[in-house]
């Protein structure tokens, strides 16, 4: 039974009903990031100050390319979920909130696509 006024429901007030999915998605993506953290730190330390030849040779490895794509997916998904909560908490102008939520979704999706294409280009050696 809904305690909500039908008009409020039409206006989109109240719970979206997607909280549990959001919560679980944030945890699952955090687990992926937790497991891939060691790889990112190792890559960052080993390629700190590296020249172009060294860095492109490292990223031509299929293992590094796969890890980069996996991690980019987890990073930008987790980023989208986290920024969504911050926007929902602090932006109270409905139109601006909606615009920012859509922008963050598209920006994170595009960032993941570009990461994946760049990593693939590096491994194929185009």
Partner 1 sequence: MAIGKRPVVVPISNVNITKGLKPQTMSTSKRPISPYMLGPYYKFQITSALSILNRLTGVFMSVVTAPLLLCWLIALASGEGKYNALSAWLGSGLGKLVIAASVFSFSFHLFGGIRHLIWDAGWMMEMPQVKASGWLAVIGSVLLSLIVLGAGL
Angstrom CA distances, 68 to 2, 26, 101, stand at: 45, 19, 26
Cβ(70)–Cβ(35) below 8 Å: no
User: What is the smallest separation between the CB atom of 93 and partner 1, expressed in angstroms?
Assistant: 19
* Unique residue bearing structure tokens 């999706």: 109
**Per-residue 3-state assignment (H helix, E strand, C coil) for 64-107:** HHHHHHHHHHHHHHHHHHHHHHHHHHHCCCHHHHHHHHHHHHHH
Scanning 9-17, 80-88, 94-102 for contacts with partner 1 by CB under 8 A, the matching segment is: 80-88
Residue 122, interface with partner 1 (CB under 8 A)?
A: yes
Q: How many residues does the chain have?
A: 126
User: What is the smallest separation between the CB atom of 59 and partner 1, expressed in angstroms?
Assistant: 6
Longest dimension (CA), the chain: 64
Residue 75, interface with partner 1 (CB under 8 A)?
A: yes
Q: How many residues bind partner 1 (CB under 8 A)?
A: 32
Residues 84-113 that bind partner 1 (CB under 8 A): 86, 111
User: What is the smallest separation between the CB atom of 30 and partner 1, expressed in angstroms?
Assistant: 5
Q: Interface residues with partner 1 (CB under 8 A)?
A: 27, 30-31, 33-34, 37, 41, 44-45, 48-49, 51-52, 55-56, 59, 68, 72, 75-76, 79, 82-83, 86, 111, 114-115, 117-119, 121-122
């Amino acid at each position: 039974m809904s305690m909500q006024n039908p008009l409020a429901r039409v206006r989109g007030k109240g719970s979206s009903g997607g909280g549990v999915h959001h919560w679980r998605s944030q945890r699952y993506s955090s687990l992926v990031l937790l497991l891939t953290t060691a790889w990112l730190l190792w890559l960052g330390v080993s390629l700190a100050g590296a020249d172009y030849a060294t860095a492109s040779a490292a990223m031509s490895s299929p293992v590094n390319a796969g890890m980069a794509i996996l991690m980019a997916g987890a990073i930008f998904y987790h980023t989208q979920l986290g920024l969504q909560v911050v926007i929902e908490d602090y932006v109270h102008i409905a139109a601006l909130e909606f615009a920012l939520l859509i922008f963050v979704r598209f920006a994170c999706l595009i960032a993941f696509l570009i990461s994946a294409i760049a990593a693939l280009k590096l491994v194929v050696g185009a």
